Chains A and B, each alone.
Chain A
């Protein structure tokens, strides 16, 4: 079952439709409700793996993976830079988890921030909603 449109408070948003939940020097990242809705039911998460997987690094504004629906594929953009400490294997096994719970069970990666100051460049929910409205 697809989730209802929502951009929760307490998360930070990137213009490429990604979110980050900051916890000290760590962050959990995923794609927003808007992104999963635009793609439709996800059927594949090309997760960062090997040297690029856990222990590898992601760079803010750069792609770290791909999400695919039946009809389309999209890069997933890192909202922040850091080292990958965990990849959500649940989404690798059941990509539709992202549609069902984009901000909860459907998270994609957890990272250790290499530059916490980058957080200030992200949007709060109101600013992200305004950004969507202006599209």
Chain B
């Protein structure tokens, strides 16, 4: 049996009464008070998630930019120092090894943040492709990462507004942090990266400022309501970005691993598409459930905001337009759903 890794905040979670579960080799809080109240806290006010299980790699050297341009799908020439970009690490077949955010510190130094479950795969993939003048270093164990998300998160942290996908060094109640204007909830907010040794102090400060501790359960329902893909569910090494609706992350005018394969899919058009859907009957779709006509659910849950079953899944292109009827096989019972535009949930202003 593999021993589960623990983040520096493990003791805080246990003390707060969190329900701990194995996730991608880590023992992580799935919920504290409950998925639904935590979800609502993020939609209405502010929540904090320990996402220290995610991986951080430093990519440095005079060729760092050139290396990343050859490995990642998006165009790093579009961002400058202090900016960040959502991008894909792709294989020769155009499949997705991981989806990640690249933070440009300067021309010779990027920080990339990868999914916990792909830390080794992504590191190995990139390390094996290093070029002269570039070096990749896995620094994941040196850092903790807290996502503070929700419409009141900046106010609660005492931070000024800033453009999404930017970053800067700063401090929160005496703790030095890298403040990243990124997240996985569809709400305003930041991801705060600090030294692992400072994690407890930062967590306590953020909670004292009124952020509600939230677990991975709410993280999943929040991201699915706004249709952010989850690697391993909605995107994998065997799915291409075009079918997944991530063509906007692929700079097909440049060369990168798998670009030819992705161009070919774009040229001929994908056979299936990743659609978002809402259940029309009382039922909760789950990953792996068949969709009539040759589709499959890749993510499903109960939406706390809509109070309905929602999900994403691949369906043949012919039946993928918004408003298409789907029949989902919920453990032997066919249940009706309708495809909807992404995101599934949008704040009513």
Interface residues of A (CB under 8 A from B): 2, 40-41, 43-44, 46, 66, 68-71, 73, 92
B217, B221, B284: the one contacting A73 at CB < 8 Å is B284
Contacting residues, chain B, for A92 (C-beta < 8 A): 282
Q: How distant is A98 from chain B, measured CB to nearest CB, in Å?
A: 14
Contacting residues, chain B, for A46 (C-beta < 8 A): 283, 333
Instruction: Give CA–CA (A70, B304) in the complex, Å.
Output: 9
Q: How distant is B242 from chain A, measured CB to nearest CB, in Å?
A: 31
Instruction: Give CA–CA (A43, B302) in the complex, Å.
Output: 7
B245 within 8 Å of A by Cβ?
no
Instruction: Give CA–CA (A40, B302) in the complex, Å.
Output: 13
Nearest CB in chain B to that of A49: its residue: B333
- Inter-subunit contact A68/B284 (CB<8 Å): yes
- Segment touching A, from B29-37, B58-66, B107-115, B170-178: B29-37
Contacting residues, chain A, for B331 (C-beta < 8 A): 66, 73
CB-contacts of B70-108 with A (<8 A) = none
Q: How distant is B185 from chain A, measured CB to nearest CB, in Å?
A: 15
- Inter-subunit contact B283/A44 (CB<8 Å): yes
Contacting residues, chain A, for B286 (C-beta < 8 A): 73
Known pairs A70-B217, A70-B221; A41 contacts B36 (CB<8 A):
yes
Instruction: Give CA–CA (A92, B333) in the complex, Å.
Output: 17
- Inter-subunit contact B36/A70 (CB<8 Å): yes
27 contacting pairs across A/B (C-beta < 8 A): A2-B34, A40-B31, A40-B217, A41-B35, A41-B36, A43-B36, A43-B284, A43-B302, A43-B307, A44-B282, A44-B283, A44-B302, A44-B309, A46-B333, A68-B284, A68-B302, A69-B35, A69-B302, A70-B36, A70-B301, A70-B304, A71-B30, A71-B217, A71-B301, A73-B286, A73-B331, A92-B282
Contacting residues, chain B, for A68 (C-beta < 8 A): 284, 302
CB-contacts of B318-348 with A (<8 A) = 331, 333
- Inter-subunit contact B283/A41 (CB<8 Å): no
Known: A41-B36, A71-B35; 11 extra A-B contacts, CB below 8 A, are A2-B34, A40-B34, A41-B35, A43-B36, A68-B302, A69-B35, A70-B35, A70-B301, A70-B302, A73-B286, A92-B282
Interface residues of B, dominant DSSP: mixed
Q: Mark B302-315, 1 if CB is under 8 A from A, else 0.
A: 10100101000000
**Band of interface residues on B:** 10 to 19
Q: How distant is B18 from chain A, measured CB to nearest CB, in Å?
A: 12
Instruction: Give CA–CA (A74, B282) in the complex, Å.
Output: 16
Q: Mark B21-51, 1 if CB is under 8 A from A, else 0.
A: 0000000001100111000000000000000
Instruction: Give CA–CA (A126, B306) in the complex, Å.
Output: 41
Nearest CB in chain A to that of B302: its residue: A43
- Inter-subunit contact A44/B35 (CB<8 Å): no
Q: How distant is B23 from chain A, measured CB to nearest CB, in Å?
A: 12
Contacting residues, chain A, for B304 (C-beta < 8 A): 70
Instruction: Give CA–CA (A43, B304) in the complex, Å.
Output: 9
B19, B34, B309, B333: the one contacting A41 at CB < 8 Å is B34
Contacting residues, chain B, for A44 (C-beta < 8 A): 282-284, 302, 309
Contacting residues, chain A, for B221 (C-beta < 8 A): 70
Nearest CB in chain A to that of B282: its residue: A44
CB-contacts of B264-308 with A (<8 A) = 282-284, 286, 301-302, 304, 307
Nearest CB in chain B to that of A38: its residue: B19
Contacting residues, chain A, for B30 (C-beta < 8 A): 71
Contacting residues, chain A, for B31 (C-beta < 8 A): 40
Contacting residues, chain B, for A71 (C-beta < 8 A): 30, 35, 217, 301
Instruction: Give CA–CA (A46, B31) in the complex, Å.
Output: 24
Contacting residues, chain A, for B333 (C-beta < 8 A): 46
Nearest CB in chain A to that of B31: its residue: A40
- Inter-subunit contact B283/A40 (CB<8 Å): no
Contacting residues, chain B, for A66 (C-beta < 8 A): 331
Contacting residues, chain A, for B217 (C-beta < 8 A): 40, 70-71
Instruction: Give CA–CA (A71, B217) in the complex, Å.
Output: 7
Instruction: Give CA–CA (A31, B302) in the complex, Å.
Output: 21
Instruction: Give CA–CA (A88, B35) in the complex, Å.
Output: 25
Instruction: Give CA–CA (A44, B30) in the complex, Å.
Output: 19
Q: How distant is A70 from chain B, measured CB to nearest CB, in Å?
A: 4
Q: Mark B207-240, 1 if CB is under 8 A from A, else 0.
A: 0000000000100010000000000000000000
